[in-house]
Amino acid sequence: MIETNLTPLMLSLKVAALSTSFVFVLGMVFARWMTQKDFWGKNVLESFFLLPLVLPPTVVGFGLLLLFGKNGFLGQLLHEWFNITVVFTLTGAVIASIVVSFPLMYQSAVAAFTGVDRRLENAARTMGASEWRLFWTVTFPLAWPGLLAGFVLSFARGLGEFGATLMLAGYIPGKTDTIPVAIYFAVEAGQMDKALFWVIIIVSLGMGTTLWLNWWSRRNVRRYANQK
Amino acid sequence: MLAVHIQKRLPDFILDVSFSVQKEIVVLFGPSGSGKTTILNSIAGLVHPDAGIIQLNEKVFYRDGQKPLPVQKRNIGYLFQDYALFPHMTVEQNVRYGLKKGHELNLAPLLSTVGIDHLLQKYPHQLSGGQKQRVALVRALATEPDILLLDEPLSALDADTRKQCQDELLRLHSMWNIPFLLVTHDREEAEKLADVIFLIDNGTIKERKNEKSHSATSISR
């Protein structure tokens, strides 16, 4: 039952790591912007950000295919300017993963930034701190527990992404066969042992991640409770 | 000299005040929700008036039709009601946060004057209310401000600590020689600390009282 070809694990980790790095920064930037500014259409934009959470992954994948496909607006642009092809490549898997995990990071970051006492930021401003300095010295460290939770959730989501990835990146062994995709095609080919092996791996990874997150956030809640 | 002449529409009334402050301790005294903190916040630049002018010495903080001067450039010290100490920083990091690069103020005399020099490595949650108040005061003064704004600075303290802190405030004011603008709804505190008291109600100054001479004059608007 032990699978010797570990490419799906490596690919999954690579996709999740790459997409989480992007999503962490993007989620933080947009969350900071949205918590500081009020503008017409903010609700609509926020709903758009959260859309991948409620849509079937296949619909997200279909949208991405339209956008990044050979004739899609972004697909053409990336191909002409940087010679990058998205469909049926690892880049496609990363993009799919970014889109579906973004809402998790965004929501966690909004909650984390909203939880930071505005008076602390104002105190820093009255002491002459620039917005950049106060963000890195006050807002970020105080929002860190929530940001880390978003990071871990996004990573786990990226690791388990299936529908949108299959639509955009397809199943090309050794290139785009992440664990969830490998499980699907193993079952389809009747290789139940192989599928079970990958199921055990991904359940362990998911369980490990959530266990660690629970333990860590409980420890943090205690630490913050003691500080008050 | 600080000159304030502002109007701002608030949910229940229109804030409309006009006053000037030399280098004395001015107390804005009045019931909760009368607009006192909004006046401090307007001077600090944390909120903006709808109209008017705020000027400290030659520096215009706010004037109709001009872009307000950013908070960071106003060089004010602000002591917030619950001190707003950074919980993840030690006392020393809190106090040094606003020090100006290049000409760092010698903090030692200030720290020993208020008696917190032994607390530098502690975190805010390890301090008593009075100690937090002192740390916040030193932190606000460490930036060498041109004016100190204090929002109910002593309201969370017990009677004994409050009295000590009042004495300290008076001592620091005489050392520092800048205007202190203090908000309170405690009459006794206002009378003890103030050179001048403005009685504020529903967004307007109802009365101006010169404490040192104890002569009261009504403000007519």
> What is the secondary structure of A132-187 as a DSSP string?
HHHIIIIIHHHHHHHHHHHHHHHHHHHHH--HHHHHHH---TTTT--HHHHHHHHH
pLDDT at position B221 over 60: no
Percent of chain A with pLDDT over 70: 95
Contact at CB, B72 and A129, closer than 8 angstroms: yes
Alpha carbon B109 to chain centroid, angstroms:
21
* Cα→Cα distances A104→A16, A49, A144, A168, B36, Å: 14, 10, 15, 21, 41
Angle at alpha carbon of residue B166, lines to B165 and B171, rounded to 5°? 95
B77 contacts on A by Cβ (under 8 Å): 126
Whether B199 contacts B206, CB under 8 Å: yes
- CATH number, domain of B99, equals 3.40.50.300
Nearest CA to A108 out of A210, A220, A17, A28 is that of A28
Whether A14 contacts A90, CB under 8 Å: yes
Fill in the amino acid letter for A135.
F
Tell me which residue range forms the domain holding B122.
Answer: 22-36+72-218
Fill in the amino acid letter for A113.
F
Residue B209 class from Cβ within 10 Å (0-12 exposed, 13-18 middle, 19+ buried)?
A: buried
Whether A160 contacts B108, CB under 8 Å: no
Judged by a CB distance cut-off of 8 A, whether residue B171 touches chain A is no
Contact at CB, A126 and B77, closer than 8 angstroms: yes
> What is the secondary structure of B175-193 as a DSSP string?
HH-S-EEEEES-HHHHHHH
B44 contacts on A by Cβ (under 8 Å): 122, 126
pLDDT at position B211 over 80: no
* Cα→Cα distances B9→A183, B15, B40, B178, B220, Å: 63, 6, 15, 30, 20
Judged by a CB distance cut-off of 8 A, whether residue B112 touches chain A is no
Judged by a CB distance cut-off of 8 A, whether residue B118 touches chain A is no
Residue A143 placed within a domain: yes
Helix axes A90-114, A57-68, angle to 10 degrees: 120
The pTM for the full model equals 0.85
Residue B2 placed within a domain: no
The pLDDT, as a whole number, for residue A221 is: 64
Count of H-run helices and E-run strands, chain A: 11, 0
Nearest to B125 among A125, A141, A226 (CB): A226
Residue A23 placed within a domain: yes
- CATH number, domain of A16, equals 1.10.3720.10
Best A127, A135, A138, A222 member to test B by mutation, with max B CBs in 10 Å, is A127
The pLDDT, as a whole number, for residue B213 is: 46
Torsion of CA A20, A23, A29, A34, to 10 degrees: -130
Residue A78 placed within a domain: yes
Averaged over A22-47, what is the pLDDT?
Answer: 94
Residue B63 placed within a domain: no
- Chain A nearest C-alpha distance from B128 (Å): 12
Residue A1 placed within a domain: no
> What is the secondary structure of B132-177 as a DSSP string?
HHHHHHHHHHTT--SEEEEESTTTTS-HHHHHHHHHHHHHHHHHH-
Residue B89 placed within a domain: yes
Count of CB atoms situated within 10 Å of the CB of B199: 21
Mean pLDDT of chain B: 88
Quote the ipTM score.
Answer: 0.89
- Token digits of residue A216: 């860590």
The pLDDT, as a whole number, for residue A223 is: 63
- Chain B nearest C-alpha distance from A227 (Å): 5
Residue B135 placed within a domain: yes
What is the length of chain B? 221
Contact at CB, A129 and B82, closer than 8 angstroms: no
The pLDDT, as a whole number, for residue A109 is: 97
Contact at CB, A227 and B71, closer than 8 angstroms: no
Domain count, chain A: 1
pLDDT digits (tens, 9 = 90+) for B157-188: 888 888 888 888 898 898 888 999 999 988 88
Percent of chain B with pLDDT over 70: 94
Fill in the amino acid letter for A202.
I
Percent of chain B with pLDDT over 90: 58
Tell me which residue range forms the domain holding A40.
Answer: 7-227
Fill in the amino acid letter for B93.
Q
The pLDDT, as a whole number, for residue B215 is: 38
Domain count, chain B: 1
- Chain A nearest C-alpha distance from B108 (Å): 19
pLDDT digits (tens, 9 = 90+) for B100-134: 776 666 778 788 878 888 999 999 999 998 899 99
Residue B13 placed within a domain: no
pLDDT digits (tens, 9 = 90+) for B70-107: 999 999 999 998 899 999 999 999 999 988 776 666 77
Nearest CA to A226 out of B124, B133, B121 is that of B124
pLDDT at position A84 over 90: no
Residue B131 placed within a domain: yes
pLDDT at position B217 over 60: no
Q: Does the CA dihedral B169-B174-B175-B178 come out positive or negative?
A: positive
pLDDT at position B41 over 60: yes
Contact at CB, B88 and A141, closer than 8 angstroms: yes
Contact at CB, B143 and A127, closer than 8 angstroms: yes
Q: Which of the four pLDDT bands, split at 50, 70 and 90, describes residue B220?
A: very low
